[in-house]
Amino acid sequence: MQHRYDVVVVGAGGAGLMAALYAAKGNVSVACVSKLYPTRSHTGAAQGGIGASLGNVGEDHWEWHMFDTIKGGDYLTDQDAAEVFSKDIVDAVIELEHMGLPFSREADGTIAQRKFGGHTREFGKAAVERACYAKDRTGHMILQTLYQQNVKNGTTFYNEFHVFDLLIEDGRCKGVVAYELATGEIHTFHAKAVILAAGGYGRVFKITSNAYTLTGDLMSIYYRKGLPLEDMEFYQFHPTGLSKLGILVTEGIRGEGGILRNDSHERFMERYAPTIKDLAPRDIVARSMITEIREGRGVGPDKDAIYIDLTHLPRETVEGKLAEITDLARTYLGLDPLKEMVLVQPTAHYAMGGIPTDIDGQCLTDGAGGKVEGLYAAGEQACVSLHGANRLGTNSLGDLVVFGRRAGISAAKYARDADYGRLGEDPEAETRELIAGLKNSSGKENAAAIRKELQETMMNNVGIFRNGPDMEKQVEILKELKARYQNVGVADVSAKFNGDLIDAVELGFLLDCAEAMTASAVNRTESRGAHEREDYTTRDDKNWLKHTMAYKDMNNDGNVLIGYKPVALKGYTRSFEPKARVY
């Protein structure tokens, strides 16, 4: 079955919905293709806030936000992107308010703001209230608001359609091919422009805050076309996931005054980040927690967790501003945060790397600025390199709306002047071959067993603390897992809602993402941001102040070719020289 739209957006989270909305406002026809119902997208799991220098609680300026973003990214952040972002996010938040997003409020009626990790006043002197929030359900409210606006502006939705292929020919993207879960039918979406916004790949790890659907689908498909993935070695572990489960505990819990404590109830962050303590950036807090655990000061039955203490906070704060987290702790851990400290541990949370783009969202083919005509990306799927080596809390939701909007505007502008590229003779051939290969396989390998081994070994060998020998071992493990994947059999060969088939396809996507990530991590012989190597413990600006570009070796499956892209060290009006990153 074939459909034709000026702009097709893949993914219906915050970035996809923002992109679709602004494309629709550009007077072009827009379809949004999503493997989930839009308001079930993973943006809904983002709790704590969206950072913008509104200054509603205390003085704040976009330059301070820009500096914090660059410093937080350990100076691998592209400074032109950081400047655009820090300016645009102020207007974007006010626009969301005007769309009807129900932000929490200060006493004077302005949008409420609270402190968040790594956000400071006066270029690092003290913590600042910059996170705009809707209790601890900010992402959920963004999804609801943007979905309603898309319905209002005429976006057509194809829900529970799983994209299996990008139609890229002669340097131009002409559409996508998707599998309809309800029928098993294959659909071709012919488009003048395509925007990729399908999220990250956290399910490559055992303990993760990510939903089961975050399997790096479009990153893998892009990579399979011989195109690069940027900075895949930089993966953020959020300090506070519910122990054993990985369910996110918002950074807002520390912004409201929560304190991390070890087995002797010591507030240990005073030793690691004496100025802003528990409100240090996520990579620093996560490493500090793991260090406490490694040195025998962990808590819980296996001594592999840390306490987050809310018992000193007012009831109205815990049950009001942190209502969702309070409910999760009571439901899943049987703990009452009003009376007991909650057990948390770092959880795989966010990919700083992804499909490389320019500041308008157009996808790049190399480190020299080559572009795929008609193809754009935004959100966690993309790497405009706003986040560099480590993302600050709240900047993810900001990234979604700022660069989702820019991608939507750019795609609509392109589509208004472009024609529909001519499709190949059989655009669905590769997708049919993928599905038939799995359904007709006589292989005895089990996708769930391979996925479990993938997640456990990635957690052990390419987690928070890394070293060369363990990662080299993981390279070989991944080659073995990919070989086994060729013999995966699918027991369910039915057409409708075939979860067995989808699990197998998604496993292939995860293996690709893990391959690119591990090779990039082995290659970078330094520690920077979230990439912490025990055998190269310092940051090396002389050799490594550059972005990694990982390409699939099209002649030798399992090998990864590494290239580079320069870091943009100057903004348009402000720039910040790399310096030691201390808090």
164 belongs to a structural domain: no
Q: Distance between CA atoms of 16 and 575, rounded to whole angstroms?
A: 30
Is 209 within any annotated ligand binding site?
no
Is 39 within any annotated ligand binding site?
yes
Mean pLDDT, all residues of the chain: 96
Residues in the chain: 583
581 belongs to a structural domain: no
Is 394 within any annotated ligand binding site?
no
307 belongs to a structural domain: yes
Does 285 have pLDDT greater than 90? yes
HSE-CB of 314 using CA atoms within 13 angstroms: 5
Residues 6+ positions from 151 with CB-CB distance below 8 Å: none
Is 16 within any annotated ligand binding site?
yes
Query: In CATH, what number is assigned to the domain containing residue 104?
Result: 3.50.50.60
Is 86 within any annotated ligand binding site?
no
What's the total number of domains in the chain?
3
Q: Distance between CA atoms of 268 and 289, rounded to whole angstroms?
A: 9
Is 40 within any annotated ligand binding site?
yes
Is 298 within any annotated ligand binding site?
no
pLDDT of residue 323: 87
Is 238 within any annotated ligand binding site?
yes
Is 213 within any annotated ligand binding site?
no
- Phi, psi dihedral angles at 233 (to 5 degrees): -70, -20
pLDDT grade for 196, boundaries at 50, 70 and 90? very high
Q: Distance between CA atoms of 310 and 326, rounded to whole angstroms?
A: 10
Domain boundary (348, 382, 406) is at 348
Kindly give the residue spans of alpha helices, DSSP state H, lying in 332-426: 395-417
Same domain, 338 and 390: no
Does 250 have pLDDT greater than 90? no
Is 391 within any annotated ligand binding site?
yes
161 belongs to a structural domain: no
Q: Which domain holds residue 101?
A: 2-156+350-417
Same domain, 369 and 450: no
Same domain, 271 and 319: yes
Same domain, 20 and 118: yes
Candidates 121, 203, 254, 282; catalytic one: 282
Same domain, 294 and 360: no
Domain boundary (417, 442, 469) is at 417
Is 82 within any annotated ligand binding site?
no
Q: Known catalytic residue: 524?
A: no
pLDDT of residue 419: 95
Mean pLDDT computed over 128-153? 96
Residue type at position 364: L
Mean pLDDT computed over 163-188? 97
Same domain, 304 and 366: no
Is 191 within any annotated ligand binding site?
no
Query: In CATH, what number is assigned to the domain containing residue 250?
Result: 3.90.700.10
Mean pLDDT computed over 539-553? 98
Residue type at position 511: L
167 belongs to a structural domain: no
> What percent of the chain has pLDDT above 90?
94
377 belongs to a structural domain: yes
Q: Distance between CA atoms of 529 and 466, rounded to whole angstroms?
A: 13
pLDDT of residue 345: 95
Does 558 have pLDDT greater than 90? no
pLDDT grade for 155, boundaries at 50, 70 and 90? very high
Domain boundary (348, 374, 396) is at 348
Q: Which pLDDT tens digit goes with each residue over 358-409?
A: 999 999 999 999 999 999 999 999 999 999 999 999 999 999 999 999 999 9
pLDDT grade for 532, boundaries at 50, 70 and 90? very high
pLDDT of residue 401: 97
Query: In CATH, what number is assigned to the domain containing residue 530?
Result: 1.20.58.100
Same domain, 356 and 454: no
pLDDT of residue 465: 96
Is 349 within any annotated ligand binding site?
yes
Q: Distance between CA atoms of 279 and 76, rounded to whole angstroms?
A: 21
Q: Which pLDDT tens digit goes with each residue over 420-463?
A: 999 989 999 999 999 999 999 989 999 999 999 999 999 999 99
pLDDT of residue 45: 87
* Positive/negative CA dihedral, 303, 305, 311, 315: negative
pLDDT of residue 557: 83
115 belongs to a structural domain: yes
Kindly give the residue spans of alpha helices, DSSP state H, lying in 44-202: 62-72, 79-99, 138-152
pTM: 0.95
Same domain, 477 and 561: yes
Mean pLDDT computed over 27-35? 97
pLDDT grade for 481, boundaries at 50, 70 and 90? very high
Same domain, 335 and 357: no
Same domain, 274 and 359: no
Q: Are 21 and 88 in contact (CB under 8 A)?
A: no
pLDDT grade for 515, boundaries at 50, 70 and 90? very high
Same domain, 48 and 145: yes
Same domain, 62 and 151: yes
Does 529 have pLDDT greater than 90? yes
Does 582 have pLDDT greater than 90? no
575 belongs to a structural domain: no
